[in-house]
Amino acid sequence: MFKGSIPAVITPFSENKVDYDSLTKVLTHLIDNGSHGLVPCGTTGESPTLSHDEHKKIIEETIRVTDKRIPVIAGTGSNNTLEAIEYTDHAENSGADAALIVTPYYNKPTQSGLYEHFRVIAEKTNIPIIIYNIPGRSIVDMSIETMIELSKIKNIIGVKDATNDLFRPLITRKKMQNEFCYLSGEDGTALAYLAQGGHGCISVTANVAPKLCSEMHIAWQESNILKAQEINLKLSSLHNSLFIESSPGPVKYAASLLGLCNENTRLPLSQINDDTKKAVKNCLQELELL
């Protein structure tokens, strides 16, 4: 079962190419500061802008640097089922611990289409699969009923829930017959999600505040609710600032201030504005991260 603080890892770029030296620096920083897992090539890693070769090499490098110290959940989703199978098969053969697969964006599949998409990928691979349900970006929303049916497939083992609907995990858990891993995809409500039965969070904020995010989850696991709430309150302004503009623009700027990588994103994401930069920098200073 995956749990705790799991950064959705940023992809550093230099002159519009993947900066693998900075990627190693980022990964080492996250591991050394207590992260409980890593997700390369997710939304925060700008996966839609990566070439096939870049996507695969980033996953390989993450697995190499991590060296089995913590789990690697490789982002392998696509709105092309055949491509998602290719990425998932590669992640499995490379030694990833699980695959994070997003609901197909742009195509707008029906619930039947969503079921078949995940069923086919699961049957073509053996790696544990986590469903990534993020209606705000993919437009489609996997229903609880569809998720329950998919959970009956042996290697579909959990969900990254980025709906921000805190009633949903309760309803799903009540109806779900099988053991299932519940991971939040929303930093601002991650602690509340834990209270609803969640196991952890695939986090943007953990890229730049990995120790605090890890300590919050550990406090929760140890039933130190007051400490978890205290850390959550500390992080609240940073959570907010990292989503003033489209992620990962703000978090990459924050990472640049920490000396982890530069702030470059790939088009169609552009540089964040000065007001956003000021807000992000202020939050890092308040947390004494700068």
* Average pLDDT over the chain, rounded to an integer: 97
Q: What is the pLDDT of residues 114-166, one digit of tens each?
A: 999 999 999 999 999 999 999 999 999 999 999 999 999 999 999 999 999 99
DSSP 247-271: TTHHHHHHHHHTTSS-----TTS-P
Look at residue 265 and tell me if it is in a domain. Answer: no
pLDDT of residue 223: 98
Give Cβ neighbours of residue 238 (< 8 Å, ≥ 6 apart): 205, 208, 209, 280, 283, 284, 287
9 found inside a domain: yes
Catalytic residue among 3, 25, 56, 160: 160
Query: Is residue 125, in this structure, part of any structural domain at all?
Result: yes
At residue 177, the pLDDT reads: 80
Angle (CA) 150-200-194 rounded to 5° is 95
Rounded to 10 deg, the angle between the 111-124 and 81-94 helix axes is 30
Q: Is there a catalytic annotation at residue 132?
A: yes
In a domain, 152, yes or no: yes
Tell me, what DSSP letter sits at residue 104? P
Q: Is residue 249 part of a domain?
A: no
* Residue in 3, 25, 87, 132 annotated catalytic: 132
Q: pLDDT at position 13, please?
A: 98
Domain boundaries, position 185: 4-225
Q: How many domains does the chain fold into? A: 1
Q: Is residue 230 part of a domain?
A: no
What is the structure's pLDDT at 10? 98
Residue 121 lies in a domain: yes
CA distance 105 to 138: 4
| CATH number, domain with residue 181 | 3.20.20.70
pTM of the model: 0.96
Residues of the chain with pLDDT under 70: none
Tell me, yes or no, if 87 is annotated catalytic.
Answer: no
Q: Is residue 188 part of a domain?
A: yes
